[in-house]
Amino acid sequence: MDAESIYTLVGVAIFILFAYFTLKSDTAGKIQTKEEKRYEIISGYRAVLRKELAPLQNNREELLAKKVLLLKEFSDELSLNIFFDSLEIEEIIQDLATQSY
């Protein structure tokens, strides 16, 4: 066997292994719709707010300062996200701001 045949066999073997592992993976079953992904993101922000603000319930000033800081952070993150436009971001931040945690 010459070198060209060996390279061809190795290339075909790699292609077959790649195809096998690609088809075997479960990523195709885990694709989320746009609405599901949006809900997951917003729920995550609510959970962060609950977790971060719970210890500050007795100190209103610190609670408000922390909430404003988190909401600014969330707004910045959402502005980079393809699932949300600027009007939706504004509505989401307003909703998160009015919720008591």
What's residue 78's pLDDT? 94
Predicted TM-score (pTM) of this structure: 0.66
Residue 15: its pLDDT value, please? 87
Biggest CA pair distance of the chain: 79
Q: Name the more confident of 21 and 79.
A: 79
For residue 49, what pLDDT is reported? 95
> Which residue type is seen at 31?
I
- Tell how far CA 47 is from the center of its chain: 14
Q: Which two tokens stand for residue 1?
A: 């066997």
What is the per-residue pLDDT for 59? 92
The string of pLDDT tens digits covering residues 34-65 is 888 889 999 999 999 999 999 999 999 999 99
What pLDDT is stored for residue 29 in this prediction? 62
- pLDDT per residue over 53-99, tens digit each? 999 999 999 999 999 999 999 999 999 988 889 999 999 999 999 98
User: Which structure tokens are listed for 48?
Assistant: 């962060």
